[in-house]
Structure 1
Amino acid sequence: MSLSPESNNLCDIGFIGLGVMGKNLALNLADNGYKIAAFDLEHQKIEEAIAQDKTESGTGGRIIGCSSYTELLAKLSVPHLIILSIPAGHIIDDVCHKLIDAGIKADDIIVDMGNSLWTDTVRREKEYEGQFFFFSTAVSGGEVGARFGPSLMPSGDRYAWARIEPVWHAIAAKVDPDTGRAIERFEPGNPVKIGDPCATYIGPGGAGHYVKMVHNGIEYADMQLICEAYHVMREGLAMSPQEIGEVFSQWNEGVLESYLIEISAEVLKQEDSESGQPLVDIILDKAGQKGTGLWTAVSSLEIGSPAPTIAQAVYARSLSTLKDDRVTASKLLQGPKLNHALKQDKQSVIQCLHDALYCAKICAYAQGFQLMQMASDEHGWSLDFANIAKIWRAGCIIRAAFLQSITDAYSRNENLHNLLLDPFFIEQINIHQANWRQAIANATLLGIPCGAFSSAIAYYDSYRCETLPANLLQAQRDFFGAHTFERVDQPSGKKFHVEWASKDRPIVTA
């Protein structure tokens, strides 16, 4: 099967779902030479996609509208490749069943490009086996990434991947292979053709959506850390949003260079058109979420891979929604009465926040990558972490210069257990951790919440601690539940129990 443009009237790719992401992915495909047969239950969305195609290309005809699933199949070259950009959940199965009824064949491929839960993807691949190839590709990059180059995390059948790979490499974001920097161009009809594509085969079915889930968990943590740094400057230093935006712009020129720092600076500099006030001051402090951060935190608990900074970022969003409670509590619960008094000067406080953000960011990524490693071991996925870091260098929401260092770390040692054990990151935290600790102390003394910063340093200190108080905890468990314990002077795995309730003295039994 060739997916290059054909001279006949048949289309190369079927596309179902023309919402914000879907329409932009379809236009991206069209820019790269593929003719699209498009369908959406809302006919207006089809018309909007066709109109935008005509405006951008000057001629149109790259996206062909369809009024039914049967018509969509009829307009496609065979074997069919059909992309779904629709909400996660039962609607995906509904569409798959309708395509089966319309006549889809065993050699056809249906690709889920939504934010599906990875276990649903595993189930679907098995359920539809023999009827068609169910393949998944997680997408990161938002609206702009979808239009001009996203980061793609495909997983599923290897044969299906061999057919899809050239398409995904064409539409994905690109990076300079020497510098690891994004090669970006935001011109309709003029896609980037050079550089390494930010799309690599992740593994068997479900692996791609799992990796994207963890990506989003890291994204939650990264965003919350930035917000906590902003909060300290806003409340602790009485800085204006514009001033903080300028600080973020400066940070974006160094080790913290990233998409999230860049857009945070832009947000803080934006004025509200109606009031003339900083827009961020007009926005209600209640954060939404779509579930992927929660899924990451739950998975970390299920697998037993600690990801406290990711979980804390989820909790922070949940706390933000308790607006009425917080308003009441603010009038009743007292905090420190320091009146913004800090022992350090303003620039020192800002530098401490910079270093805290850098160190905590390292820990958040370390938690995410270790979670993926433990999931990979449990499910037999054999994830390639150097390649995962590579495809996150451009196109995705957490894209950052920092990811090149992670790529290098796993390239040096593919069996690296934790990023904190890599020589580069060991050195970075050794250099910056004093300021990290001072930043948390400053925030705590001022009564400014810094849960993500604090959870990250607790993770770091726990990970580097040779002896944790879990010995006491295990003794407690044995006391009330006879859960047994191991001894430091006996072989690993040998269990012991104490008859703690003995009137004379404890009796140790093997």
Structure 2
Amino acid sequence: MTKAKADIGVYGLGTMGSALALNLAEKGFHVAVTNREVEWIANFVQGAGPLGSQITATDTLDSFVSALKTPRTILFMIPSGAPMDAMIDAVLPLLEDGDTIIDGGNADFNATRRRFDRLSGTGAHFVGMGVSGGEKGARHGPSMMVGGSAHSWQQLKPMAEAIAARFEGDPCVAHLGTDGAGHFVKTVHNGIEYADMQMIAEIYGILRDGAGWNAPRIGALFEEWQSGPLSSYLIEVSAAALQTMDPETDQPMVDVILDRAGQKGTGRWTVIEALKMGQSASAIEAAVGARGWSSEKPTREVAETVLSAGTLPAEVPEGGDLESAFLAARILAHAQGFRVLAAASEEFDWALDMARISEIWRAGCIIRSALLDDFAQAFRDELPEGHLILAPAMVATLAKTIPALRRTVAAGVALGTPLPALSASLAWYDSMRRGRGTANLIQAQRDFFGAHGFERTDQEGKFNVDWPELASENS
């Protein structure tokens, strides 16, 4: 008996591709699968167990495409960059009008926009879809951020909503805009993730190095935070990791892990794109920088023996103070991320819905947290200047928690415990809350040495001034 045509094809049976294919099959969809390394295919089907009846295995690109219902929906879970471009070259001649290609990897949104434009006019459609939640999320319910045409979304929507994570019944997936919108939102999600992880690590650091707490004690504190406004997947992960013991040494697992963190580039992309648009996501920048500094382990070991700390007496804040400090910093880091999204939405004409983005991040993704429900509501209400930190609920929360963030950063500075992301968040808050900053002096400096001109507070237009000559300029 010949199997019916498949509802969707999944090309790429690595960790994420396999998990998504099984998720689709479990939700009742017929899935065609294939893989560049064909020997993986049989193992995948065998491991699918009873779900194997929902799967059609193919070993060539031609047979894979032929196994799909038209208009076809094909999800590629392959490395970004050149492999995706090569795959488009190979599959495009096999497609028909209305077929949709989906790139579900962590792609640079600029490349997604280019691929979207390349397929325009061919009859086929290109979708960039950010998928968050890791292997478990992909298997049981990820958060997905979709960018592409309205046609491709209508084709994909029933399947995407069926496999997505749900928050109180609401599927955590949305069509966010055209071309690279989905991949850009996923990039900023990852940037916020960098900041969140770094700030948690900084609080761990000040308790470990400043207060002398061991890892399990810090983990127990984080576990307590899970019952309050800081409840989140990353706090849950951190609490569990800190309380896990190494069976080989009977030491806390984190104490035998090398303090050198890797990165795949999405956090860096967030920073680059923010700066290109004239924004500064300083908490994310600090987190990306801290990962870079962590890689210089030999230098840090030498520096520890020769560089003076110059520390001052200080007390590490209590757990409640640290909880409030992190709450303030987490709000600020998210606000920076949303500001970058708003700038991109205007730059690329995406009309991003910040409330909906907050909602689809409430379950399934790595940065899911209790705060996202509050953010969604803030965006749905009247939002002064479109800025999250000016939402009445955020203003009230920050008023209560900023003093604790000040005390925490002050203690870190005095004790010589690095808090780059927490400090950056506070500095940004202090910059934004001042109606009169110090850029007037910078404008004076620029005009002094470069005649760049400046604006005045009392007159319209652009001005220059004849600044005094300096003795050093004549020597």
TM-score, normalised on structure 2? 0.96
Match of 2:26? Answer: 31
Query: 2:242–2:253: 8 Å Cα contact kept in structure 1?
Result: yes
The share of aligned pairs that are identical, in percent, is 42
Residue 473 (structure 2) pairs with residue 499 (structure 1): no
Write out per-residue CA displacement over residues 113-140 of structure 1, whole angstroms, 9 at most, x where no aligned residue: 0111101111001112233111121111
Report the Cα offset of residue 502 of structure 1.
5.8
Report the Cα offset of residue 9 of structure 1.
2.6
Query: 2:259–2:294: 8 Å Cα contact kept in structure 1?
Result: yes
Paired residue total: 469
Amino acid at match of 2:81: G
Distance 2:43 2:220 in 1: 38
Match of 1:387? Answer: 356
Amino acid at match of 2:306: L
Query: 1:256–1:358: 8 Å Cα contact kept in structure 2?
Result: yes
Match of 1:365? Answer: 334
Distance 2:423 2:20 in 1: 39
Amino acid at match of 2:138: A
Q: Secondary structure of the residue that 1:272 maps to in structure 2?
A: coil
Residue 396 (structure 2) pairs with residue 427 (structure 1): yes
Write out per-residue CA displacement over residues 303-356 of structure 1, whole angstroms, 9 at most, x where no aligned residue: 011211110100000000000100010000011456xx6446xxx432222111
Residue 142 (structure 2) pairs with residue 150 (structure 1): yes
Report the Cα offset of residue 415 of structure 1.
6.7
Q: Secondary structure of the residue that 2:176 maps to in structure 1?
A: coil
Query: 2:244–2:252: 8 Å Cα contact kept in structure 1?
Result: yes
Distance 1:343 1:99 in 2: 62
Query: 1:106–1:130: 8 Å Cα contact kept in structure 2?
Result: no
Residue 437 (structure 2) pairs with residue 468 (structure 1): yes
Residue 461 (structure 2) pairs with residue 482 (structure 1): no
Match of 1:71? Answer: 63
Amino acid at match of 2:374: S
Distance 1:470 1:342 in 2: 33
Of residues 241, 247, 252, the one that matches 1:267 is: 241
Amino acid at match of 2:118: E
Query: 2:131–2:143: 8 Å Cα contact kept in structure 1?
Result: yes
Residue 251 (structure 2) pairs with residue 289 (structure 1): no
Q: Secondary structure of the residue that 2:271 maps to in structure 1?
A: helix
Residue 190 (structure 2) pairs with residue 216 (structure 1): yes
Distance 1:117 1:134 in 2: 14
Query: 1:153–1:201: 8 Å Cα contact kept in structure 2?
Result: yes
Query: 1:150–1:172: 8 Å Cα contact kept in structure 2?
Result: yes
Query: 1:386–1:414: 8 Å Cα contact kept in structure 2?
Result: no
Amino acid at match of 1:385: M
Residue 104 (structure 2) pairs with residue 113 (structure 1): yes
Amino acid at match of 1:468: G
User: Residues 382-461 of structure 1 correspond to what in structure 2 (within 5 A)?
Assistant: 382-413=351-382, 416-461=385-430
Distance 1:469 1:416 in 2: 22
Write out per-residue CA displacement over residues 169-228 of structure 1, whole angstroms, 9 at most, x where no aligned residue: 10100011xxxxxxxxxxxxxxxxxx1100111001101111111111100000000000
Distance 2:41 2:84 in 1: 19
Distance 1:201 1:41 in 2: 29
**Structure 2 gap segments, 5+ residues each:** 471-475
Amino acid at match of 2:462: K
- 1:209 and 1:295, CA in 2 relative to 1: closer, same or farther beyond 3 A? same
Of residues 165, 169, 177, the one that matches 2:161 is: 169
Amino acid at match of 1:174: R
Of residues 232, 237, 251, the one that matches 1:258 is: 232
Query: 2:73–2:155: 8 Å Cα contact kept in structure 1?
Result: no
- 1:297 and 1:174, CA in 2 relative to 1: closer, same or farther beyond 3 A? same
Match of 2:4? Answer: 9
Q: Secondary structure of the residue that 1:498 maps to in structure 2?
A: coil
Distance 1:385 1:71 in 2: 41
Distance 1:137 1:32 in 2: 19
- 1:97 and 1:501, CA in 2 relative to 1: closer, same or farther beyond 3 A? same
Amino acid at match of 1:351: G
Distance 1:60 1:496 in 2: 73
Amino acid at match of 2:115: R
Distance 2:53 2:349 in 1: 44
Amino acid at match of 2:188: V
Query: 1:416–1:422: 8 Å Cα contact kept in structure 2?
Result: no
Amino acid at match of 1:90: A
Of residues 104, 108, 113, the one that matches 2:95 is: 104
Write out per-residue CA displacement over residues 455-504 of structure 1, whole angstroms, 9 at most, x where no aligned residue: 0000000000111111111000000000101111112xx1000111469x
Query: 2:354–2:376: 8 Å Cα contact kept in structure 1?
Result: yes
Amino acid at match of 2:135: E
Report the Cα offset of residue 300 of structure 1.
1.0
- 1:50 and 1:28, CA in 2 relative to 1: closer, same or farther beyond 3 A? same
Query: 1:487–1:496: 8 Å Cα contact kept in structure 2?
Result: yes
Residue 115 (structure 2) pairs with residue 124 (structure 1): yes
- 1:166 and 1:278, CA in 2 relative to 1: closer, same or farther beyond 3 A? same
Match of 2:346? Answer: 377
Query: 1:349–1:439: 8 Å Cα contact kept in structure 2?
Result: no
Match of 1:159? Answer: 151
Amino acid at match of 2:234: L
Residue 309 (structure 2) pairs with residue 318 (structure 1): no
Query: 2:383–2:391: 8 Å Cα contact kept in structure 1?
Result: no
- 1:18 and 1:481, CA in 2 relative to 1: closer, same or farther beyond 3 A? same
**Structure 1 gap segments, 5+ residues each:** 1-6, 177-194, 504-510
Query: 1:110–1:133: 8 Å Cα contact kept in structure 2?
Result: yes
Q: Secondary structure of the residue that 1:202 maps to in structure 2?
A: strand
Amino acid at match of 1:374: A
Write out per-residue CA displacement over residues 212-266 of structure 1, whole angstroms, 9 at most, x where no aligned residue: 1111110000000000000011111111100000000001110100000000001
Distance 2:170 2:403 in 1: 38
